[in-house]
């Protein structure tokens, strides 16, 4: 795993480059995301209410690395993608690709979703 190789590699490489490395207090999280069923269902309703049922697309689980599970150890949550790809505009490259870009309209959608989710969760209501 990356956690186990990063520390010795960094500590042994740093002196060769006149640098230093330390790992004090660094929290390494290797837990998988586990979406809470109740939070996920509630968020599905928020998406449907805010953007319409056609905005929901179920995707297969991925093996991507993400630190979100550290939050899920403290509180139930759900991880989801907003989606910023736009084939018509040629915005198709994956993250970390030199030509990666986003369709900036996704920023509006994401903001609307998070505001709607915050309102819903703060209302104490079980419905969106």
CA pair distance 42, 127, nearest whole angstrom: 7
Which CATH number belongs to the domain containing residue 46 in this structure? 1.10.150
- Candidates 85, 119, 90; CA nearest to 105 is 85
In the three-class reduction of DSSP (H, G, I as helix; E, B as strand; rest coil), residue 91 is classed as: strand
Structural domain containing residue 6: 1-30
The answer, yes or no, to whether residue 95 has pLDDT greater than 90, is: no
Query: pLDDT tens-digit profile of 20-78?
Result: 887 665 555 557 788 899 999 999 999 999 999 999 998 887 776 677 888 888 899 99
Which DSSP symbol is given to 75?
S
Any domain includes 115 = yes
The answer, yes or no, to whether residue 3 has pLDDT greater than 80, is: no
Whole-model pTM above 0.85? no
Q: Are both 63 and 107 inside the same structural domain?
A: yes
Q: Are both 101 and 72 inside the same structural domain?
A: yes
Q: Are both 55 and 89 inside the same structural domain?
A: yes
Any domain includes 128 = no
**What value does the mean pLDDT take over residues 98-123?**
95
Q: Are both 54 and 116 inside the same structural domain?
A: yes
Q: Are both 50 and 3 inside the same structural domain?
A: no
Which of 3-7, 32-36, 89-93 shows the highest mean pLDDT?
89-93
Q: Are both 58 and 113 inside the same structural domain?
A: yes
Count of domains for the chain: 2
Query: pLDDT tens-digit profile of 75-89?
Result: 999 989 998 999 999
Q: Which of the four pLDDT bands, split at 50, 70 and 90, describes residue 5?
A: low
Any domain includes 58 = yes
Q: Are both 41 and 19 inside the same structural domain?
A: no
Do the beta carbons of residue 112 and residue 50 sit within 8 Å? yes
Q: Are both 11 and 59 inside the same structural domain?
A: no
């Amino acid at each position: 795993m990356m956690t186990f190789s990063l520390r010795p590699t960094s500590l042994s490489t740093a002196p060769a480059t006149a640098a230093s490395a330390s790992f004090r207090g660094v929290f390494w999280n290797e837990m998988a995301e586990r979406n809470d069923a109740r939070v996920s269902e509630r968020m599905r309703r928020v998406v449907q209410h805010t953007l319409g049922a056609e905005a929901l697309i179920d995707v297969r689980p991925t093996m991507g690395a993400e630190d979100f599970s550290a939050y899920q150890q403290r509180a139930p949550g759900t991880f989801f993608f907003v989606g910023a790809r736009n084939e018509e505009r040629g915005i198709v490259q994956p993250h970390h690709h030199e030509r990666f870009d986003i369709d900036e309209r996704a920023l509006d959608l994401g903001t609307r979703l998070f505001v709607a989710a915050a309102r819903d969760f703060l209302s104490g209501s079980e419905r969106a």
